[in-house]
Amino acid sequence: MTHLTDDELRGAARPDGHLAACAACHRRWDAWQGLTAATRQAAAALAPDARPPAFDVLLPQLRPVPPPAAHRRSWRTTGLLVRWQLRLMPRSLLPLSFAGLTAAVVIALLTPDAQLASRYFAAAVVLVALLGSLATVSRRGDPRGELLFSVPTSPVTVFTARLVLVLAADLLLALAGSVAVHAAGVGNGVFDLVTGWLGQSLLASAIAVSGAVRWSSGAGAAAGVAAWCLGSLTTLARGGLAERVAVVASQIWGTTPWTLALVLLLFVLAARRLRVPERRRELA
């Protein structure tokens, strides 16, 4: 008698036919059935339950995860933005600003008249801040103009970060120069020295930046230099022109609330202008 093979025994569901008549094959089939049952039990015990748990079981175990603080995200974004804007600015900008302010200190120290020395120092500081602010505005052919519209951050935010970075560096260097000049005996005090150039610096920079954004870098530079010349001539310590317009000049070029409000207005207008891409501005 020919007995069934192992494959035939594993595939047999019931002991009929040859299995019912052959005792040897029936015993082998029983052994295979027991081995199959034991394997299934072991697999069920070792393998995890693939069914998803019910929500009634999951909900009590869930704990709300607090989102990261908004101020932390904003400070991190601001830091990254300022760092990348620092890399985009010309590398020679900071050394040139330092050299210009050093020259302003030297001019003030070499001027015999203390009052005239403070005026010369203020004029030089205004010029350095003006040129630094012009570096923040890209020319029409500069690829950095396209970069403002290719990053996920708003162009206004990028422009503001760049402008604040450059002006802060220049004004801090100018403050250090004011302290050095006052230590040498020039001026009536650090506060008077700072107020002598702060309003003029911000106003001349705002005029230059607004002109560069509205028209071109050349137009902005011309407007800023014209404002610097007008402010320097009308605030000299001596001369008939200064005597005639002293009251008006002190309100426009001095560090007054009116000057700061005008500066803020010009910077806001420049920022709003940057919302329009360069090509659309050329077609307008």
The domain segmentation of the chain, as residue ranges, is 6-46, 74-283
Residue 130 exposed, middle or buried by CB count within 10 Å (0-12, 13-18, 19+): buried
Mean pLDDT calculated for residue range 42-70:
67
Amino acid identity of 267? Answer: F
> What span, in angstroms and rounded, lies between the C-alpha atoms of 118 and 243?
18
> What span, in angstroms and rounded, lies between the C-alpha atoms of 126 and 129?
5
Mean pLDDT calculated for residue range 247-265:
77
Residues 6+ apart with CB under 8 A from 20: 26
pLDDT band at 222 (very low <50, low <70, confident <90, very high): very high
Residues 6+ apart with CB under 8 A from 124: 100, 101, 103, 104, 107, 108
Mean pLDDT calculated for residue range 20-27:
78
User: Could you please report the per-residue DSSP string of 223-242?
Assistant: HHHHHHHHHHHHT-SSSHHH
Give the count of beta carbons closer than 10 Å to the beta carbon of residue 172: 10
Q: What is the mean pLDDT of the chain?
A: 77
According to the model, what pLDDT value does residue 105 have?
Answer: 93
> What span, in angstroms and rounded, lies between the C-alpha atoms of 81 and 30?
76
Give the count of beta carbons closer than 10 Å to the beta carbon of residue 94: 16
According to the model, what pLDDT value does residue 242 have?
Answer: 47
Q: What H or E segment, with its residue span, contains residue 182?
A: helix 155-183
Mean pLDDT calculated for residue range 87-116:
87
CB 197 within 8 A of CB 121: yes
According to the model, what pLDDT value does residue 251 have?
Answer: 59
| CA terminus-to-terminus distance, the chain | 101
Tens digits of residue pLDDT in 133-180: 888 875 544 444 555 666 667 777 778 888 888 899 999 999 999 999
Amino acid identity of 266? Answer: L
Mean pLDDT calculated for residue range 40-61:
70
According to the model, what pLDDT value does residue 281 have?
Answer: 45
Mean pLDDT calculated for residue range 95-118:
90
According to the model, what pLDDT value does residue 29 have?
Answer: 77
Over 60: is that where the pLDDT of 211 sits? yes
Over 90: is that where the pLDDT of 69 sits? no
Q: What is the largest CA-CA distance in the chain?
A: 137
The residue whose two tokens read 């025994």 is: 9
> What span, in angstroms and rounded, lies between the C-alpha atoms of 4 and 21?
12
- Select from 269, 263, 110 the least CA-distant residue to 185: 110
User: In the numeric block, which tokens belong to residue 284?
Assistant: 């307008």
Give the count of beta carbons closer than 10 Å to the beta carbon of residue 220: 24
pLDDT band at 276 (very low <50, low <70, confident <90, very high): low
Q: What H or E segment, with its residue span, contains residue 81?
A: helix 70-88
Please give the share of the chain, as a percent, with pLDDT higher than 70.
73
pLDDT band at 187 (very low <50, low <70, confident <90, very high): confident
**Dihedral Cα 200, 202, 204, 205, nearest 10 deg:** 160
User: In the numeric block, which tokens belong to residue 261?
Assistant: 């409000």
Mean pLDDT calculated for residue range 62-82:
65
Over 60: is that where the pLDDT of 279 sits? no
